[in-house]
Chain A
Amino acid sequence: MRELPWPAKVYIVVLVTAAAALIGRDLVVGGGVAGGLDWPDWRTLIVLALLFLVCESAPTLLNIEQTAVSVSFSAALAAVVLVGPLGAALVGAVAVLSVRPGLPPVKRLFNGAQFAICGYAAGVVYRLAGGPDGLPVERFADLLVPYAAAAAVFVPLNILLIGVMLRLASVVRRDQVQLRDTARFLVSYLGYASFGLLIVGLWASVQSLAAVLVLVPVFIARWAFGQYRAQERSYEATMAALCQAVETKDYYTRGHCTRVSKAATMIAEEIGMGPRRLRAIRYAGMLHDVGKLGVPTKVLQKEGPLTEEEYAAIQLHPMRGLEIVKGIDFLDEAFAGIMHHHERHDGRGYPMGLAGDEIPEFARIIAVADAFDSMTSDRSYRRAKPVEVALEELRKNAGTQFDPVMVDAFVAAVRRRGWDPPVRPPAPPTGQPQTVMKDHDDPTTPIQVAAER
C-alpha cells in the first residue's frame, strides 16, 4: 500500500481514539444518555453485528467503487433503535473484522472507528429526538421521526468522515466528486435507511430471523446486478470484436473504433454528461463507422482524386451505418451521433450539411474524437502525428470544422489524463492488397474530388 501522508495518519489516530473513548466510557460507566446493556440486548447486538459483518464483507455493486457503501449501514441504523448508541457503536466497530481480502489494516481501523462514531452519534440523536427505547413500541409511527433524525445524522457524518479521509489521502480531487454522484449516493443511502427500519419492524415478530429474511431479497438483487454487469461486459466485448472485424478490411485503421469510443467518452465526461448518456456515446463512438463496409473497396483503395460518384459513396457511409444499427434500442442521441459525425461546424460536411448547433451534440463530440485518432495513427501515405501536433490541428480547425467547445474539452481531458496513441503497426505484410490510400477521417489530407468534365 502507498504510504499515507501524515495528516491522514493523524486523522485516523484521532478517530480511533475518539471511538475507543466513547465505547469505553459507556461500557465502564454505563448510564447517561447512552444507557447500559443487559443480556437480551447483547443477544440482539450479536445478531446485528453478524448481519453488519456479512453486509460489510460483501459491498454492493450499486455504488461508486471508491467509497463502497454497503447494506451494513442498515444494520447499524437498526442497532440504533434496538440496542441504543453504545450498541450501534459496537456494531459499527465490527467493521474492523470484515472479510475483505486485501483490505489493509489501516483501512480496517479507519472503517471501524468511523462507523462506531457515526453509530454512536446517530444513537444519541435518536434518544434526544424522543425515540422509544427498544421494542416493542406502542405505535410504530412514533419511531419514524427520531429514526429519520438518526439517519439524517448518520449519513452526512459518514460522508464527511470518509470525505475528509479521501481528501487527506489525496485519492480524489475535488472536481472528481460530482453533484450527480452525490445525489445518487443520497438516494441509495435513503434506500438503505428504509431497510434498517424494516429490520426493526420485523424484529417485533420474527426477531433475529429478521436479519436472515431481509438478506434474501438483497442478495437476489445483488445477484441480478452481478448478472447485469456480466452481461454488460460481455456485450461490450462482443460489440468491440465485431466492430474490429469491420475494420480488418483496412490494415491501418485497426482499433480505430475502440479509440474513438474512448476519446468521445473523455470529451463527454469533461463536459459533464450523466452515466446514461456516457454509455450511449461510448456505444455510438464504437459503431460510428460500421457503415464503411458499404463503401466499395475499390473506392477506398483508389489512388488520386475521386469522381463525384465515388465521393458520394463515401458520403453515404454514415447513413449506411445508421441503417445497420437502427434496430438497436439505444438513446436516439446515439443514432444522431452516428449519422452526423461527418458534419462540419461551418456547414460544409455531410450527409446533411448541418452547421453549428444544428449538429447533434454526440456528432460534434465524435467528429473531434474521430479526426484526432485518424491523425495520431499511421496511414499508408503518412506517419502518425504526435499528440501535441494533432491537438494543435484540432484547435486550428475549431470553429470551421469542429465545435470549439468540444475541442477545448478534449484538449483539457488529454492534458489531464494523457492519451495513448496506437502502437505503430509493423509494416503490412507484403502482397497484402488491403492498404487504403486515403482516410476519410483525416482532416489534414482532405479527399480530392475531381471536377466533372
Chain B
Amino acid sequence: MTTRQRRSRLPRSGDRARAPWCPILLTVAATLMIVSVGHVAATEVVDPDVALAFGALIAFGELARMMMPGNREVAPISTAAALGYAMLLDVEGRPAAHGALQVVAVMALGMIAGALPHLAVNRPPQAAAMARRLLTGALVAFAYRPLADVLWASTDHGRPGGQWWLVLAAMVVFAAVALVADMLVAAVLRAERMRTAPRVAVRDELRITGPLAAAVGTSGALLALASHGMGLVALLVFAAPLLVTQVAFRKYAGIRATYLQTVRALARVPEVGGYVDHGHSRRVSRLAVAVGRELGMCEAELLELEYAALMHDIGQLSLADPIPGGATVFAEPAQARRIAELGAEVIRKTGVLDRVAEIVRLQCDPPGPEVPPASRIIKVANAYDDLVGASADRNRSAAALERLRAGSGEEYDPVVVEAMAAVVARRRRR
C-alpha cells in the first residue's frame, strides 16, 4: 500500500467540530452530578462537618487550578482532596459513614463553588478537564466506599496497635488505577482533538502529567490517613505541602510557556528586519507541527520541531548581505545551506538546544538516512510556504503540492509530502 493510499483512508473526523468522546464524557459527568446532588438533597448529609471541610478544600483547589504544558488544565489540590474524601475511613476515630454518592455531590458542589470566581472574571474552566476530575473522584468513591467498613475493621477499628497496611495498599491501588484511567481518558480526548496517534497521546500524557498525578495520589491517601490521627486539622496542615507542589509545577509550566513565546517572538526578528516574508516563520512552524503530529511525533519531538521551524531562518541575521526572501526554494542551494549552517551555529550557542540546531542545520538536505524527520518536515513546510505564502488560494495551494510531489523522493520525503497534503486538505475543508 502506498503512502498516498494510506493517507487517503484517514478518517475525516477532523471535520467534526467536536470529538465524539467529549460530549459523552460531559453527559456522564453531568448526569452523575445531578443524580448525586439530588440523592444527597433527598436524604440526609452524613457528617456534615467533614463534608463541608473537604468541600471547602476542593473548592480552594479548583480556585487554584493551573495549566500544565500543552494547555492541560489541572487542579491538583482539588483532586487530592476529592481522593482523600473518597478514601476517608475515620476522623479521629469517628468512622466515616458517607456513601459514594455523597462524595460525588460534595465534589461537584465544591468544584462549582471554586469555579465561580473564575467565571466571574471570564476565565471559564475547561469543561472536559473538570468532568474528568469529577469522574476520577467518582471512580474511587464507587469502588472504595463499599469496602470502607471492611477496611476499617481490618485496622481493629482504629485502636492503637491496629494494622494499616491493608488500608494503605488499597488506597494506593485505587488512587493509582483512577488516576491512570483519568490520563487514558485525557489522552483519548486529546488524540481526538489534536489528531495525535492514540498510543503517542497516552505516552505524552503519562510523561507530562504523570509525576503530578503521583504527587496527587499520594497526597490523597495521606490526607485520608492523616485524618485518623489529626482529625480535620489534617486538611489545614495539608494545604502547605500541596501548595508547595503546586507552586513548583506552576512555575515549571510558566517558564515553559514563556520560553515558547520568546522563541516565537524572536523568530520574527528576521521578518522585522525585512529579510524574510512577514509571518513566514510562524506559518512554517504551524504547518510543520501539524505534519509532525500527523506523522505520530510525541510532544517532546513536536516542541523541538516547532523551535527549529520557528528559527529556521535565523541564520539570515549572521549574513552581511542577507538573501532577500531567505532560504527559499528559489534560493541557490549553496546559499540556503549557508543560512542553515549559520542558523544552526546561533542555536548551538545556547548550549541546550543541540538537537534543534541539528534539525536546522540539515533543513536543506535531501532526505537521507542521516537527516532527522524534523528537518525533512521543515524542508517541505518551508517550500510550501514559499510557494503559497499567506494566500488562501486553492489553485495556488494545489499547484504548490503538485510541485512538491514532483520533487518527491529526490528533494522531499514522500511520506512527509503526503502527510502535508492531508493536513492542507483538512485545513481547506474547515
Within 8 Å of chain B (Cβ to Cβ): is A245?
yes
A311 CA / B221 CA spacing, docked (Å) = 67
Q: Are A198 and B257 in contact (CB under 8 A)?
A: no
- Asked whether A245 and B317 contact (CB < 8 A) given A217-B242, A237-B351, A290-B266, the answer is yes
Measured between beta carbons, the chain B residues less than 8 angstroms from A444 are none
How distant is the Cα of A190 from the Cα of B314 in the complex, in angstroms? 48
Out of B229, B237, B349, B351, which one reaches A194, CB within 8 Å? B237
Q: Is there contact, CB below 8 Å, between B264 and A327?
A: yes
Residues of A within 8 A of B272 (CB): 291, 293-294, 320, 323-324
A197 to B236, CA, bound (A): 11
Lowest 5 CB-CB distances: which A-B pairs, in order?
A204-B229, A201-B230, A224-B248, A293-B273, A220-B215
A8 to chain B, nearest CB (A): 33
Known: A198-B222, A237-B350. A232 touches B273 (CB 8 A): no
A329-B258 contact, Cβ under 8 Å, with A205-B228, A228-B251, A246-B317: yes
Interface pair A324/B229, CB less than 8 Å apart: no
Q: Which of A28-36, A134-142, A166-174, A408-416 contacts B (4 or more CB under 8 A)?
A: A134-142
Within the complex, the shortest CB–CB distance from B277 to chain A, in Å, comes to: 15
Given contacts A140-B229, A217-B242, A227-B252, 4 further A-B contacts (CB under 8 A): A140-B233, A241-B346, A293-B269, A294-B272
- Residue picked from B241, B249, B263, B346, most chain A C-beta under 10 Å: B241
Total inter-chain residue pairs, C-beta < 8 Å: 199
Tell me the bound Cα distance from A239 to B347 in angstroms. Answer: 10
Q: Is the CB of B218 within 8 A of A216?
A: yes
Judged by a CB distance under 8 angstroms, whether A9 is at the interface is no
Residues of B within 8 A of A232 (CB): 255
Report whether over half of chain B's contact residues are helix, strand or loop; otherwise say mixed: helix
Partner of A220, one of B211, B222, B228, B239: B211
Chain A: interface residue count, which band?
Answer: 35 or more
Query: Residue A419 at the B interface, CB < 8 A?
Result: no
Q: Which residue of A lies closest to B89 (CB)?
A: A205
A245–B221 CA distance with the chains assembled, in angstroms: 51
Within the complex, the shortest CB–CB distance from B38 to chain A, in Å, comes to 35
The answer to the question of A312 belonging to the interface, with a C-beta cut-off of 8 Å to chain B, is no
Contacting residues, chain B, for A144 (C-beta < 8 A)? 233
Within 8 A of B (CB), among A188-224: 190-191, 194-195, 197-198, 200-207, 209, 213-214, 216-218, 220-224
Write the residues of chain A forming the contact surface with B, with a CB cutoff of 8 angstroms: 62, 135-136, 139-141, 144, 190-191, 194-195, 197-198, 200-207, 209, 213-214, 216-218, 220-225, 227-228, 231-235, 237-246, 248-249, 290-291, 293-294, 320, 323-330, 432-434
Query: A237-B351, A324-B272 known; A205 and B244 CB under 8 Å?
Result: no
B234 lies within 8 A of chain A by Cβ: yes
Say if the beta carbon of B240 comes within 8 Å of chain A.
yes
Give Cα A197–Cα B240 distance, bound, in whole angstroms.
11
Q: Is B190 an interface residue (CB 8 A)?
A: no
Give A207 to B263 CA distance when docked, in angstroms.
Answer: 50
Contact B234 A228 (CB under 8 A): no
Interface pair B249/A198, CB less than 8 Å apart: no
Contact B346 A245 (CB under 8 A): yes
Are A202 and B350 in contact, with the CB atoms below 8 A? no
CB distance A238 to B352 under 8 Å?
A: yes
Interface residues of B, Cβ cutoff 8 Å to A = 92, 155, 158, 160, 164, 167-168, 211-212, 214-215, 218-219, 221-222, 225-226, 228-231, 233-234, 237-245, 248-249, 251-252, 254-259, 261-266, 268-270, 272-274, 311, 314, 317-318, 320, 346-347, 349-353
Contact A238 B263 (CB under 8 A): yes
- The interface residues of chain B lying within 8 Å CB-to-CB of A194 are 237, 239-241
Is B229 in contact with A231, judged by CB distance below 8 angstroms?
A: no
| A204, B239: Cα distance in complex, Å | 20
* Inter-subunit contact B350/A238 (CB<8 Å): yes
How far does the Cβ of B307 sit from chain A's closest Cβ, in whole Å?
9
CB nearest to A227 among chain B residues: B252
| Contact A220 B255, beta carbon cutoff 8 Å | no
Please judge, given known A-B contacts A216-B215, A320-B272, whether A228 and B320 are in contact too, CB under 8 Å: no
Contact of A242 with B266 in the complex, beta carbons under 8 Å = yes
A-B residue pairs in contact (CB < 8 Å), sample of 26: A136-B229, A139-B231, A141-B233, A194-B237, A197-B230, A204-B230, A205-B228, A205-B229, A213-B221, A220-B218, A225-B252, A231-B256, A232-B255, A233-B352, A235-B255, A235-B259, A237-B352, A241-B350, A242-B350, A244-B346, A293-B273, A294-B273, A324-B269, A327-B265, A328-B262, A329-B258
Q: A238-B350, A245-B317 are in contact. Are A224 and B252 (CB under 8 A)?
A: yes
CA distance A206 to B352 in the complex (A): 44
B229 → chain A closest CB, angstroms: 3
Complex Cα spacing A140 to B252, Å? 36
A137 to B110, CA, bound (A): 32
The residue that A213 contacts in the complex, of B218, B237, B245, B252, with Cβ under 8 A, is: B218
Asked if A198 meets B218 with Cβ closer than 8 Å, knowing A224-B249, A238-B262, A293-B272, the reply is no
CB-nearest residue of chain A to B268: A324
Q: Distance in Å from the Cβ of A24 to the closest Cβ of chain B?
A: 33
A329:B257 contact, CB within 8 angstroms: yes
Per the bound structure, the CA–CA distance linking A144 and B353 in Å amounts to 51
Whether the Cβ atoms of B225 and A205 lie closer than 8 Å is yes
Q: How far is the CB of A299 from chain B (nearest CB, A)?
A: 13
Q: Are B226 and A239 in contact (CB under 8 A)?
A: no
A340 to B418, CA, bound (A): 49
- Closest Cβ of chain A to B243, distance in Å, is 8
Q: How far is the CA of A128 from the CA of B350 in the complex (A)?
A: 58
List, in ascending order, chain A residues with CB within 8 A of B242's CB: 217
Contact with B92, one of A139, A221, A231, A244 (Cβ below 8 angstroms): A139
A221 touches B226 (CB 8 A): no
Q: A234 to chain B: which residues have CB within 8 Å?
A: 259, 350, 352-353
**Cβ of A239 and Cβ of B266 under 8 Å apart?**
yes
